[in-house]
Amino acid sequence: MAAKTTLNAKNLESLGVQRLAELLIEISTGSAAHKRRLRMELAGNHGSAEVAREVRKRLASITRARTVINWHKAKALKTDLETQRKTISETIAADDPREAFELIWQFLAMADSIFERSNDRGGSLIQSFHQACEDAAAIARLVKIDVNVLADKVFKAVQDNGYGQYDNLLAAMVPALGKDGIDRLKTLFVQWSKEPKDKPAEDERKVIGWGAGGPIYEDEIYGTHRDLTVRMALQQIADAQGDVDAYIGQHPEETRKAPMIAADIANRLLSAGRAKEALETLDEADARGWANMPFEWQLARVAALEALGRAEEAQTYRWGRFEQALDGEHLRAFLKRLPDFDDLDAEEKAFAHARAFPNVHQALAFFLNWPAPAEAAKLVVIRKAELDGDLYELMTPAAEALAEKHPLAATILLRSMIDFALDNNRPSRYKHAARHLADCASLAPHIDDFGDTRSHDVYVADLKRRHGKKHGFWSLVT
């Protein structure tokens, strides 16, 4: 049974209405966010119209603000945005969807004023606007707004998408627009693409390469910002209409050979039952500049081979990709398609290949991700001389993963990082190295046999012999 002082709804109810009201006033003093939340709750007692009025006032206030939004203000703004967005989509929409639609559009319109005075490096703020696009689409379906009016609103929004706030608006609106709305939207974008446009100033043009005739400008290959906006919109519309050829047609000829775009096109061709064309598209991709083709391209290729009934060729490709790069996903797919019991032999063959793989760190990552911790531990012990303690992003989680059941392997990994820090005079890592040494001391009693690896006491004695004058390190060792 919870104590009477535990913070839960039942215990707080015992304080009584008056005392709770006094506490809320006290707690909200000095907190604009808490006061706004309380006002919103009070407005809710008077119906959605009053709540909508409060939201509209707050949205206008945010839009009018001109102060710079630095990193510590961004968190409070994010909370405020989410409060307003959820109030619109969850509270107001349930009672008055038409009012909610107008408010969510007002919410989206705030984006420019916010991003003009902020640097949303973490992408937290933009997420609220992307979710608001989804909310707008859901509310539009409730309102059953005229599809031509809706198409016009979507068109104008996407035209002015300077900060990417409307990136997912068109795709989200497809169900609400329906066939007629999508047709209308396509017409608007095609018309816009044909309107005269000014050529960008020479100093505003981006050089992306050089040819026999001089510089190659980005707008010559990919077009202007308007061209790109239209192209992306028409690609989304083509997807909505299930028109693969229209989608392909929106990619400039020069870009269709890029592996990622080729994979993108191939996947749509596969969905349309056009596997032969999909494989041809993938085979025509330009591999220059790629040590290995992107994983998306690889997946599309095996899917195309499977669709064409060339399963054995697909299996050969999967195994080849595993052998070359220790790709676990390809190996899983390969094993899944083998007869019962054959997969066990194939897995052992794969493990043997990984144990002998030239890059020990790649092999270690493979075993950890599979997961096969016993194999990872065996690899560490056998190939400890090859370990690079500078790769702490791999060594640290590997040591943590192996510590409980494979303390010797974990110790070897920890020592690799300690040795790197001290051998290479890295004072910034001494704190971590001291912690690793303490972890080694904790693991030592659990190691039954050190084999040809030095015991903990011998290792520490050798450290003191070689690095005894590094007082910055030893002062941290407890």
Plot region of 126 (φ>0 → left; ψ -120 to 50 → alpha; else → beta):
alpha
- Residue 461 sits at φ, ψ, to 5 deg, of -60, -40
pLDDT at residue 467 tops 80: yes
The answer to whether the beta carbons of residues 326 and 360 sit under 8 Å apart is no
Residue whose pair of structure tokens reads 């997807």 in the numeric block: 239
Considering only CA atoms, which of 197, 277, 192, 280 is closest in space to residue 237? 192
The answer to whether the beta carbons of residues 170 and 236 sit under 8 Å apart is yes
CA distance linking residue 300 with residue 412, whole number of Å: 40
Q: How confident is the model at residue 204 (pLDDT cuts 50, 70, 90)?
A: low
pLDDT at residue 340 tops 80: yes
The answer to whether the beta carbons of residues 278 and 266 sit under 8 Å apart is yes
Q: In this predicted model, what pLDDT tens digit does every residue of 63-94 receive, in sequence order?
A: 999 999 888 889 889 999 999 999 999 999 99
pLDDT at residue 132 tops 60: yes
The answer to whether the beta carbons of residues 396 and 418 sit under 8 Å apart is no
Tell how far CA 430 is from the center of its chain. Answer: 33
Q: In this predicted model, what pLDDT tens digit does every residue of 1-37 receive, in sequence order?
A: 456 667 677 766 776 767 666 666 667 676 666 666 6
| Pair of tokens at residue 12 | 């707080």
User: Percent of the chain beyond pLDDT 70?
Assistant: 86
pLDDT, residue 201, reads 62
pLDDT at residue 264 tops 50: yes
pLDDT, residue 123, reads 87
Query: Bridge-partner residues for 211, per DSSP?
Result: 214
Q: Which helix (H) or strand (E) holds 133?
A: helix 124-143
Q: In this predicted model, what pLDDT tens digit does every residue of 35-60 receive, in sequence order?
A: 666 665 655 545 578 889 999 999 99
Q: In this predicted model, what pLDDT tens digit does every residue of 400-426 receive, in sequence order?
A: 999 999 999 999 999 999 999 999 999
Determine the average pLDDT of the residues in 252-266.
93
More confident residue, 35 or 165: 165
Mean pLDDT over all residues of the chain? 90
Torsion of CA 297, 298, 301, 307, to 10 degrees: -120
pLDDT, residue 210, reads 66
Cα separation values, 40 from 12, 32, 34, 50, 465, Å: 21, 12, 10, 9, 69
The answer to whether the beta carbons of residues 19 and 28 sit under 8 Å apart is no
Q: In this predicted model, what pLDDT tens digit does every residue of 370-405 receive, in sequence order?
A: 999 999 999 999 999 999 999 999 999 999 999 999
- Mean pLDDT lowest among 4-13, 103-112, 164-173, 237-246: 4-13
The model's pTM is 0.76
Tell how far CA 208 is from the center of its chain. Answer: 27
- Mean pLDDT lowest among 284-293, 379-388, 459-468: 284-293
CA distance linking residue 240 with residue 182, whole number of Å: 8
